[in-house]
Structure formats: structure tokens, C-alpha cells
Amino acid sequence: MDRMKGKIAVVTGVASGIGKAIIEMFADEGAKVVGADYDVENGQKTIDGIKAKGHEAVFVPCNLRKKEDVENLKKVTLDTFGTITTLVNCAGVLVHAPFLEHTDEDYDKISETNFRSACWTMQAFLPVMVENPEQCCICNVASISSIKPETNAYYYGAFKAALDLMTRNLTREFSPKGIRLNVINPGPVFTNMTPKEVLNSPEIQAEMCKNVCSIGRLGQPKDIAYAATYLCSDEASWVNGIQLVVDGGACMMG
């Protein structure tokens, strides 16, 4: 299992859910990994689990809403491994509320975590990648909420759409320099952002499977990790500027 052998990967949002699944799979596939999250306890647990398997891994406590934390993430990565080949921006927050109930605090939290932090990490690491672009790539995790309307997720969908467009725009500037950039658009996946009433109700889950996912089940974080591993491996060396929808057929359900 060496699809990521020789890669040095930074993944944000590793304390749980999709980010955790991605960094674990990268490490299992041979990458040296750096995980970042503001949830220090669970982020460290993720990295400790990776190291227990004999993989090289580092955890960096990081509030991605603070630029100085992003700069520290870059410093620790370079001090530890000397360079970076792979960046996955997975950190995100979701606020479900009717539009008229969304607050300024919601706007700031979602915009800064779901969009601005990814801009900051890309600004931090792209200059390093450009110096030695062989096998370098960025994968940003957006959502089908950016391409399919979702009630009560207005700011979330808007800033995930901004991340989509920013990523594809950046391919124009950085593809000629040897850097690939792609987006994954997950559908309904069981994570810590899944509402508790869904997590605790097999009946609601069954109804969602029937009405939301044509494939007959809700997603698991590993489903997205498989997609990220493909896009960040050499198998995808000719895949650039795409939005890869991984949603169990949700976008086909109308």
C-alpha cells in the first residue's frame, strides 16, 4: 500500500470525520503527514493513532481563523519534513438555520473557516510547492451544497461554492507551474456535523437513504478519503481543475 509513498501531506480538520479519514489513509498509503485542527485533544489522538502504526506524523494545534496559526503550521511542516507535496483543506463548520436567523457571527465563522482559511493555507504553501513542483497538488473539500441548493445551509453553501471557484481559478495560474488543484464535493456523510437527530434515528436515516442517496446508503468519511487519495496520488497526474462529486447519487435525486 504505497499510493502516497514519497508524499508529504498537510491535512486540516483532522480531529474527526472526513479530515481524520483522509490523513489516516494517506499515512497508510505511505505519506508522511502533518495534521492540523483547533480541537487539540482529538487531533492529537488522530496523530497518535497514526504513529502507533509506525507512520511518520505530526500534529499542529491550529485555529485556521488566525493567520499566525497558519504560518506556524507552515513552519512546523518545513522544520519537520523540509517541504510539502500535498495540501488538503478539509476543515469546515456548518450552521443550519433559516436565512433570516443567520447572524453576523455565523457569517464570520463560516466564511473564515470554510473559505478564508483555505486561501491562507494555499498562500502559505504554494510558494514552497512552486520551488519543487514535481508531484505537488492541492485538494480542497467543498460540498454538494455548493452546486445543489440546500435549505438552511445558506452561508455554508455560498462559501463552499466560493472555494470551488477559487480552486478552479487557481489552476489557470499554477498549472503551468506544475501544481494540480482539484475539489471534492461530498454528499451527505456521517461526521460530527451530522445533526444528532439524524445520528440517533435509524428511521430518519432510512428516509434519507430513500429520498437523498440513490445508491441506498449515507456516506462514510472513508468514502471521501478514497477520492482524496486518488486525486493526490500519481494515478491522477493528468487530473486537474475538476470538481469530483462523491455523493451516493444525491445530486441525481433532484
Angle at 174 between CA 74 and CA 26, to 5 degrees: 50
| 254 residues of the chain, pLDDT tens digit each | 799 999 999 999 999 999 999 999 999 999 999 999 999 999 999 999 999 999 999 999 999 999 999 999 999 999 999 999 999 999 999 888 899 999 999 999 999 999 999 999 999 999 999 998 888 999 999 999 888 888 888 999 999 999 999 999 999 999 999 999 999 999 888 766 666 666 666 666 666 666 666 677 778 999 999 999 999 999 999 999 999 999 877 777 65
3-state helix, strand, coil in the chain (%, to 5): 50, 15, 35
Q: Which of 38, 154, 156, 226 is catalytic?
A: 156
Rounded CA-CA distance 163/155 in Å is 12
The predicted pLDDT at position 95 comes to: 87
The predicted pLDDT at position 123 comes to: 98
- For 253, other C-beta atoms within 10 Å of its C-beta total 14
Q: pTM for the whole thing? A: 0.93
Listed residue (21, 12, 141, 25) closest to 84, CA to CA: 12
Rounded CA-CA distance 68/71 in Å is 5
Rounded CA-CA distance 61/5 in Å is 25
The separation between the first and the last C-alpha atoms of the chain, rounded to the nearest angstrom, is 38
> pLDDT digits over 181-200, tens only?
999 999 888 766 666 666 66
Rounded CA-CA distance 157/36 in Å is 23
- For 75, other C-beta atoms within 10 Å of its C-beta total 12
Listed residue (76, 96, 71) closest to 32, CA to CA: 76
**Counting every residue, how long is the chain?**
254
Beta bridge partners, 12, equal 36
Look up 38 and say whether it is catalytic: no
The predicted pLDDT at position 34 comes to: 98
> pLDDT digits over 125-155, tens only?
999 999 988 889 999 999 998 888 888 889 9
- For 197, other C-beta atoms within 10 Å of its C-beta total 8
The predicted pLDDT at position 183 comes to: 98
The predicted pLDDT at position 32 comes to: 98
DSSP at 56: -
The predicted pLDDT at position 200 comes to: 64
The predicted pLDDT at position 70 comes to: 98
Give the domains, in start order, of the chain with CATH numbers.
8-253 (3.40.50.720)
Residue whose entry in the numeric block shows the C-alpha cell 491550529: 62
